[in-house]
Amino acid sequence: MRSAAGTLRRPSDLARAGLVAPERLAELERVAAQYAVAISPALVELIDPADPRDPIARQFVPDAAELAIAPEERSDPIGDDARSPVPGIVHRYPDRVLLKLVHVCPVYCRFCFRREQVGPRGRPSLSRAELDGALAYIGARPEIWEVILTGGDPLVLSPRRLREVVRALAAIDHVRIVRVHTRVPVATPARVTREVVRALKAFGKATYVVLHVNHPRELTPAARAACARFVDAGIPMLSQSVLLRDVNDDAATLGALMRALVENRIKPYYLHQGDLAPGTAHLRTGIVEGQELMRALRGRYSGLCQPTFVLDIPGGYGKVPIGPNYLADEDSSCSVIDPEGRRHSYAPTR
């Protein structure tokens, strides 16, 4: 394992840290020219350079395979832009919106579905006028019950900026839920200070924090302590993970991750099928593989450990569950498949 004085942002930084071979620099410079690179010290510390299949490196160290774009891949795979009525807002579902405050992150995942929007060369953060416009859009639509702060990673903002945004949302009566999507507790756990936690709380509203985490090794003692600061302050936590080839695409790893989350008072929420982001085919699994993994978790791990396996339909048409089906219709009844794969007749269906 290696430590680093600061975040690694260039292929040459990765080579000096011993994470990539010097002969790979030329091809990795081509990747870095296309997609942002950043690996925080906390995650550098977890990477084993001697393991060519290290699951942490797979998520964050650039790979020449990212230069190969599959025909089905899209620059905006889940159709954010098609559902963006004003800058910063994505309104895909009637009762909730995304509010994208920034387009920077403490680390950049190699499978990111917004990889062409984020990073130093990505889209700018919202200006004051754009933020005011986004808040006005939310305030004018009483059907909006929940606002999801995303980006980029909203927790890269200062506690003062976070407090301003949360208080502005709290002043909108019909907004009842503020949800924050972040990787910060894993990537830069020291950023989760008491000031940040206080900034996310608003009187009369419920705040939820959703942690993006894909492998149990990411839940270090520091990451667990950062998450505990939220939960101990009364902010519930959920998790979302992406199913990734050679990272978490086996039942033992996935089960260990879900158990570690539950043990830390974080409810597994979503397991995402990999989106069709450009240059990510080498990290995607098949839907059937994911369904079989979910079937393997069912009955072997507590119900608390069961995320919903979901797919964001390309083009902006929304997220749908795609887990395995345990029912098979028959003439006057149905057949139910148990966790061991055995079929049982159940009647009547009405």
Catalytic residue from among 83, 100, 110, 114: 114
Catalytic residue from among 267, 319, 326, 334: 319
Active site residue 105: yes
Active site residue 109: yes
Tokens found for residue 40: 């925080």
- Decide if 152 contacts 180 (C-beta within 8 A): no
Active site residue 312: yes
Active site residue 250: no
Cis amide prior to 236 (ω within 30 degrees): no
- How far apart, in whole angstroms, are the C-alpha atoms of residue 218 and residue 317? 31
Catalytic residue from among 275, 284, 295, 305: 275
Active site residue 93: yes
Phi-psi region of 266 (alpha: psi -120 to 50; beta: other; left: phi over 0): beta
Catalytic residue from among 92, 100, 183, 284: 92
Active site residue 53: no
Active site residue 137: no
Active site residue 275: yes
Catalytic residue from among 58, 110, 112, 249: 112
Burial of 347 (0-12, 13-18, 19+ CB in 10 A): exposed
Catalytic residue from among 24, 109, 183, 301: 109
Q: Is 240 helix (H, G, I), strand (E, B) or coil?
A: strand
Active site residue 305: no
Catalytic residue from among 13, 63, 153, 312: 312
Which residues lie closer than 8 Å to 108 by C-beta, 6 or more apart?
35, 36, 37, 38, 60, 115, 118, 119
Catalytic residue from among 96, 141, 176, 224: 96
Active site residue 92: yes
Catalytic residue from among 54, 63, 105, 270: 105
Catalytic residue from among 30, 74, 93, 201: 93
Q: Is 222 helix (H, G, I), strand (E, B) or coil?
A: helix
Which residues participate in catalysis according to the annotation? 92-93, 96, 105, 109, 112, 114, 275, 312, 319
